Chains A and B, each alone.
Chain A
């Protein structure tokens, strides 16, 4: 067979032919059915019940932790205030104590002066 004959045979075999009747319908039927769009949800349906199950205890635990921390903070603050008040009262008391001892010593000094150096005519005394 010559080359020209072969090309003619090939051209004949590959010529465009129309599709048989009903081909398009058969083809469409043969294709797998399209999945509905709704199936492409962002949240996987399996994870929803887990969230619903745990959000309440998680919120309660968070509230509990928050209230414990807040309570601890308030207790610490109150303790600090109590210590500050006690220190203030203690310092005031020690200042008063020193003042009281100074007044006492001052008066004892007057008594002592009167007892040890009595001016001849003006001091009267009793001493143990």
Chain B
């Protein structure tokens, strides 16, 4: 009996750090793409975890309308991760890595909001949202072009109303986001 209790306690002790280090909901495992930065003609690598995001939020200028909107939005977020690389030649990036991130978005909770594909420009843009009890807990954008690819992962409670408020300020388009539509599941509309 004592041996069983000791075994259970040992198992709990081993599992505790693993449980404590569980990543927040909506956080994707995005590769660092460190080798690509040298090959790319332009690159954007933003990694803002909860602490850095909080720090960045504090330093936003509330008198600037653009930054004031960002400040409102980022208070509820716990991470923003962006990898964007532009190359001088076609498909210089490892497509498998991008597909690896795409596969994570087929997991439970993630819904595809928009899937756009241009045959002429060979461009794919996918917008995913992680919904939990009707709340948007994460946003992911994967955009790939022959000479450019971008992965965006926003983690945290995304207030769709606030995202709506950003429309037109960063060039964010009017996506027709309405609070009442938050819980709707994505369904394919058409495919040509």
Scan residues 69-104 of chain A and give those whose CB is less than 8 A from a CB of chain B. Answer: 86-87, 89-104
Does residue A124 face the partner (Cβ distance < 8 Å to B)?
Answer: yes
- Cβ B181 vs Cβ A94 within 8 A: no
Task: Determine chain A's interface SS by DSSP, over half rule.
Answer: helix
- Chain A: residues with CB nearer than 8 A to chain B? 86-87, 89-116, 119, 121-128
- Cβ A107 vs Cβ B125 within 8 A: yes
- Cβ A126 vs Cβ B188 within 8 A: yes
Does residue B30 face the partner (Cβ distance < 8 Å to A)?
Answer: no
Does residue B46 face the partner (Cβ distance < 8 Å to A)?
Answer: yes
Q: What would 5 more interface pairs be, CB under 8 Å, given A97-B48, A104-B139, A112-B114?
A: A99-B82, A101-B70, A111-B114, A125-B114, A128-B113
When distances are taken between beta carbons in the complex, the residues of chain B under 8 Å from A116 are 173
14 A–B contacts from the bound complex (CB under 8 Å): A90-B56, A100-B152, A107-B125, A107-B141, A107-B143, A108-B175, A110-B123, A114-B116, A115-B114, A121-B119, A123-B119, A125-B190, A126-B115, A128-B187
Contact status of A127 and B114, CB under 8 A, knowing A105-B170, A112-B175: yes
Does residue B12 face the partner (Cβ distance < 8 Å to A)?
Answer: no
Does residue B29 face the partner (Cβ distance < 8 Å to A)?
Answer: no
When distances are taken between beta carbons in the complex, the residues of chain A under 8 Å from B125 are 107, 110-111, 114
